[in-house]
A and B are shown apart, each in its own frame.
Chain A
Amino acid sequence: EPEVTQTPSHQVTQMGQEVILRCVPISNHLYFYWYRQILGQKVEFLVSFYNNEISEKSEIFDDQFSVERPDGSNFTLKIRSTKLEDSAMYFCASSAGQGTYNEQFFGPGTRLTVL
């Protein structure tokens, strides 16, 4: 069964450093998403991406964040200068169709720890 994969599973970084979280969405999916989940809290939407551009982004997704689809398979989330409060699980998701009426398949997540 096709699945979304994410690497690394755990990333530890120093405050102020740049990190890139990587995702490989399901191959025939066209819509891609990043979410984050701070420990013990809700899953929060960060950004959606379609046709090589951002479709929608939340208030969390400020200038420190960027997304990219550098090739036909990868979808990345970059945090330019990490802060302590960026420590969270980051989930990538993909869907075949547009928006929330189409099931989003989530990856296993990357745990980001900022020291």
Chain B
Amino acid sequence: GESVGLHLPTLSVQEGDNSIINCAYSNSASDYFIWYKQESGKGPQFIIDIRSNMDKRQGQRVTVLLNKTVKHLSLQIAATQPGDSAVYFCAASAGYSTLTFGKGTMLLVSP
């Protein structure tokens, strides 16, 4: 079955730095990936997604990179702000199957 995991439980950065959060997945059939942000006491919030026919997708201050060869994706946040402090987790699915979520990385941004 699918398992999705994150490499680091906590990432501490200074305001203005770029942050990189990594995620590995196990199911080579996974073809859709999403990054979510979860602030304390709130539900997951969609950040950006990417399909397997792409290896990079950019949003506002965020970039997702997908490496299907090693089954790895990353979320890059440019010019990290204190408001970016949250838990970030990836989710993956194969086709129209349900999403499998990773455990999460806590991003701590110091002013």
Contact = CB atoms under 8 A, between A and B. Distances in A.
Interface in B81-111: 89, 91, 93, 95-104
Contacts, number: 53
A99 B95 CA distance: 8
A114 B103 CA distance: 23
- Interface residue range, chain B: 20 to 34
B88 to A, nearest CB: 12
A44 B3 CA distance: 11
16 contacts: A4-B43, A44-B101, A91-B43, A91-B44, A99-B97, A100-B93, A100-B97, A100-B98, A101-B51, A103-B49, A104-B99, A105-B46, A108-B42, A108-B43, A109-B42, A109-B43
A107 interface: yes
